[in-house]
Structure 1
Amino acid sequence: MAKKGYHHGNLRQALVDAALELIEARGPMGFTLSEAAKQAGVTPAAVYRHFDGREALIAEAAEQGYAIFSDLMDYAYQSGQPSALKAFEATGRAYLAFARKYPGHYIAMFESGISINRTPELAQVANRANGVLEKAATDLSQHIPEDKRPPASMFSAHIWAMSHGVVELFARNSPGRASPFPPEDLLETGIGIYLRGLGLVQPDD
């Protein structure tokens, strides 16, 4: 159903909201700018006052998604303090929670093919989310001598990849695929096994 009565200059956000609904329903390539305009209750010509094409509209949705994602990751990190392990694990759980609560944003960010370097603003907010995970990883590895310490950027990237894999395979209702365990449990045990293998946490932690 088309949205009616946008006013007070919020057309740009109305278009983003419309795009998010269409992205969630059809995927990032499954709609046109004209359909986004209709969903927002405006003429197609009105879209070009704010966006020069569908990719720009999706990029804005991705940028807003990364801002929400970064805030959630930071909140998760802070909530796990003062335990470095709990803070690190919390960021992984935040990834799953974000994908479930904001599917349109998630798709725009990770499945649309939009480069995070498309604009400086998008790159900045995307890197902020990654920075939270790297900070948590750095905290977790402080007890290891520097010359034996794995790079925080490496194992934080591995955890990001693991989180993404669990989301894609088991947390977003992949057709014909079901997990024998809750996605949160899969991720938590996977993180534990990985970190113990690197010697970052002890078996009884």
Structure 2
Amino acid sequence: MAKRGYHHGNLRQALVDSALELIEEKGPTGFTLSEAAKRAGVTPAAVYRHFEGREDLIAEAARQGYEIFADLMDYAYKGGQPSALAAFEATGRAYLAFARKYPGHYIAMFESGISVNRTPELAAVARRAWDVLERAAGDLSQHIPKEKRPPAAMFSAHIWALSHGVVELFARNSPGRASPFPPEELLESAIGVYLRGLGLIPPDS
């Protein structure tokens, strides 16, 4: 493979970009630092000027992924939606869109085994993404009588779990798990069932 050019001072990002490609191709444990260095066009020793090891490199890829993810979630939440319900549903769709458009980041964030608490910076941006969904859930749950209202954190965790399940099983070409329905329809119908159960949308006529 031809060496990747990089501008002086941008080696750190070139290594992250190489790692993201390798993560997508081979998984988070299927490549070495030497491979990442080779793809970035530098010697393996150069990697250690910026990262202590492969997990440190993957953690930075995850941090950058969470930055993108949090921005997408925030945009979906604030993007001129006509109602709290529409804003809430938009954040669920944003999760699916992110997983499709940024598979390397998604894997680094959710499938690498890297803890979000590995660094303060990673923990902070992961919390920012979670907060968007929790705010959307909190806004929507105001329509439920207080005595029947689930905590916003639980509400948002349920939707995160639904979104994650659809992504893992049907949106990333998992072998042997072809679905007869588009992932967007699966997610929308699952959220609909959940919200009907809470009384937030009327039952089908």
**TM-score if structure 1 supplies the norm length?**
0.96
The alpha-carbon deviation at position 80 of structure 1 amounts to 5.2
Between the aligned partners of 1:80 and 1:163, the Cα distance in structure 2 is 22
CA RMSD of aligned residues (A): 1.4
Task: Return the letter of the residue paired with 1:49.
Answer: R
Aligned to 1:57: 57
**Partner deviation per Cα, 1:25-84 (whole Å, 9 max, x = no partner):** 000000000110000000000000000000000000000000000000111111252310
Runs (5+) with no aligned partner, structure 1: none
Between the aligned partners of 2:30 and 2:2, the Cα distance in structure 1 is 17
Task: Return the letter of the residue paired with 1:83.
Answer: S
Between the aligned partners of 1:99 and 1:5, the Cα distance in structure 2 is 28
Aligned to 2:42: 42
Give secondary structure in 2 for the equivalent of 1:112: coil
Higher mean Cα deviation, 139-148 or 33-42? 139-148
**Partner deviation per Cα, 1:81-126 (whole Å, 9 max, x = no partner):** 2310110001111111000100000000000000000000000000
The alpha-carbon deviation at position 143 of structure 1 amounts to 2.1
**Partner deviation per Cα, 1:131-186 (whole Å, 9 max, x = no partner):** 00000000101122323211111011010000000000000000111111100000
The alpha-carbon deviation at position 6 of structure 1 amounts to 1.4
**TM-score if structure 2 supplies the norm length?**
0.96
- 1:1-205 equivalences under 5 Å are 1-79=1-79, 81-203=81-203
Once the two structures are aligned, what percentage of the paired residues are identical?
85
Give secondary structure in 2 for the equivalent of 1:200: coil
Between the aligned partners of 2:123 and 2:26, the Cα distance in structure 1 is 26
Give secondary structure in 2 for the equivalent of 1:201: coil
